[in-house]
Structure 1
């Protein structure tokens, strides 16, 4: 299996940064490009991690490992 490039904590930080850029008027394409991902990845992150905090991501990861 392919290793993940972004940890859950990093994804959440990038989502917060991306949401800030969206509020400033940038498009999703511009946000995704600045984060080094494609729009599909951005939307998948939003669906998976949207609204989470870094501690929530750690708990999710621990539950997945069980």
Structure 2
């Protein structure tokens, strides 16, 4: 009842016998994606992408402990 009032899913789970554990994870992941992720099929603005290691080589490993 309380979960319904808040508009959130309610699932009974048990890690002891693995009851509904995977379903709970998938349900919560879908809820989070639906609330924070971009809508399906939405165009992604290339200016908002982060480019990692662009034009930068890998540093050679350093000797020593730190």
TM-score by length of 1: 0.28
Higher RCO (C-alpha 8 Å, min separation 6) = 1
